Amino acid sequence: RSNKRQQLLHWSRAMQATALPISGDGSCDNGFLHRLDVPSSGLILAAKTYQAYYDLQLQLRVGDMIRDYAVLCHGWVPLSMRTMQAQLYSREGKATVAGGQGKPSRTRLQVAAHLLQAVLALSLLAVRISTGRKHQIRCHLAHVGHPTACDAKY
């Protein structure tokens, strides 16, 4: 994880015309607030100032920031499935586990499309996370039997 964070940090600094003080401050995660898991593609949220960092951090913690995702997963997710809820337990260096222990988490979803090609069945989902746990979408989908496509970890 540290190596991947360093790669992102070096890229961020190279893209800036001048180094911003927060980009060198490890106590504030160098300004980074949110990123998708490495095998995913999408938004990276980084602050340019300390004021923006703390304001965005507060918005994330109180749930004011809406996070919507498009997710491709294995199998045909039933059209009636709208919510996934499970306790999630995160362990350093290992896959997050859904089950009896951990922090409560909730993922809302809507099936956008189903695809059947030869023996491969996939579902395209519109997903909104209500909480922001580590690997939440990937773990929830694997927990209900529909792991995300191209995901070797879950």
Report, as residue numbers or ranges, the catalytic residues.
37
HSE toward the beta carbon, residue 116, CA cutoff 13 A: 3
What is the β-pairing status of strands 32-35 and 103-117?
Answer: unpaired
Q: Which residues of 50-71 are buried (b: 16+ CB within 10 A; e: fewer)?
A: eeebeebbeeeeeeeeebebeb
Give the list of residues 6+ apart from residue 79 with CB closer than 8 angstroms, or none. Answer: 111
HSE toward the beta carbon, residue 133, CA cutoff 13 A: 24
